[in-house]
């Protein structure tokens, strides 16, 4: 498994990580998937305090017990549950972030996080206060580095300018190339790494899965048509569709790792197989972009 530096940090992470949100709540199965991932060379695990109401962090904590030194562990905060209220409340305040980390560490059975991420963000947030919270957590030794998880270019720009964050988690796939125009070039210029989530576009780019619903502005019919064209490219370079999709997300120089989810061992191994295939050639990247652009043009005619 190839590894890369995460931004300006000294964290060296596998180019394919594991997004833990899809693991489910059945303990034996979830822990088995994490152990298999670690045995296959994955060392980057990403979770969040709100996944399955904290259960996901608990399962990750149990899975890495005795293996903590092999794991680059990331979690997130900012979405708050208030007793007696439905849904989540957005709270990027220093007080909440510094209280949330303690609960995450307890559930994960560790005394520090390698990466702590703001789980969202708006331009109206008290950004300086949020940054101060992360900086204090670094000084206190509770986190090693911090980043944000966001798709909003204006928020990303503010943190990239005002903070010492090392990463941005951003949705990025063949079906969602919005970040190529502004976000990825900005982060690459500043030496901030992208953690690409959704490289398979919620399964839309996994050829073994039936397309039953749309993705973003794509209808199921449009996804099937696009997959047929992409499958031809994948076949020419002796890759599966999953491998083609994951390697596309990894092809941008700003991207340090992709974090596809897996709810079964079979899905995990299909994702990890992309690590054993060569990087895309420039010709392959251009062919994929042409197919994507043609389909986007057809969508908006």
Which residues are annotated as catalytic? Answer: 51
Distance CA 271, CA 238 (A): 15
Distance CA 83, CA 79 (A): 13
Report CA-CA distances (Å) from 217 to 175, 250, 292: 9, 23, 13
Long-range contacts of 110-114 (CB under 8 A, 24+ apart): 110/61, 110/64, 110/68, 110/73, 111/142, 112/141, 112/142, 112/143, 112/144, 113/73, 113/74, 113/75, 113/142, 113/143, 113/144, 114/11, 114/71, 114/72, 114/73, 114/74, 114/143, 114/144, 114/145
The answer to whether residues 213 and 201 touch, using CB atoms and an 8 Å cutoff, is: no
């Amino acid at each position: 498994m190839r590894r890369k530096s995460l931004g300006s940090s000294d964290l060296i992470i596998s180019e394919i990580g594991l997004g833990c949100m899809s693991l489910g709540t059945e303990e034996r199965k979830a822990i088995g998937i994490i152990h298999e991932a670690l045995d296959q060379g994955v060392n980057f695990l990403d979770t969040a305090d709100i996944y399955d109401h904290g259960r996901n962090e608990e399962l990750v904590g149990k899975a890495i017990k005795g293996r903590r030194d092999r794991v680059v562990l990331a979690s997130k905060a900012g979405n708050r549950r208030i007793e007696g209220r439905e849904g989540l409340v957005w709270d990027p305040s220093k007080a909440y972030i510094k209280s949330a980390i303690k609960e995450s560490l307890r559930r994960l059975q560790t005394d520090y996080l390698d990466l702590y991420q703001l789980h969202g963000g708006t331009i109206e947030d008290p950004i300086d206060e949020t940054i101060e919270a992360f900086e204090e957590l670094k000084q206190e030794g509770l986190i090693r580095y911090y980043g944000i998880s966001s798709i909003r270019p204006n928020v990303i720009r503010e943190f990239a300018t005002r903070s010492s964050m090392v990463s941005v988690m951003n949705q990025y796939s063949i079906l969602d190339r919005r970040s190529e125009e502004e976000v990825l070039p900005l982060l690459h210029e500043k030496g901030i790494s992208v953690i690409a989530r959704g490289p398979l576009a919620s399964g839309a780019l996994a050829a073994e899965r039936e397309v039953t619903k749309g993705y973003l502005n794509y209808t199921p019919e449009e996804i099937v048509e696009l997959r047929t064209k992409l499958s031809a490219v994948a076949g020419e370079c002796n890759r599966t569709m999953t491998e083609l999709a994951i390697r596309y997300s990894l092809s941008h120089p700003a991207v340090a790792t992709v974090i596809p989810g897996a709810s079964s061992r079979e899905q995990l191994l299909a994702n990890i197989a992309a690590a054993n295939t060569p990087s895309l050639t420039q010709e392959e990247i251009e062919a994929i972009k042409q197919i994507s652009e043609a389909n986007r043009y057809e969508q908006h005619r």
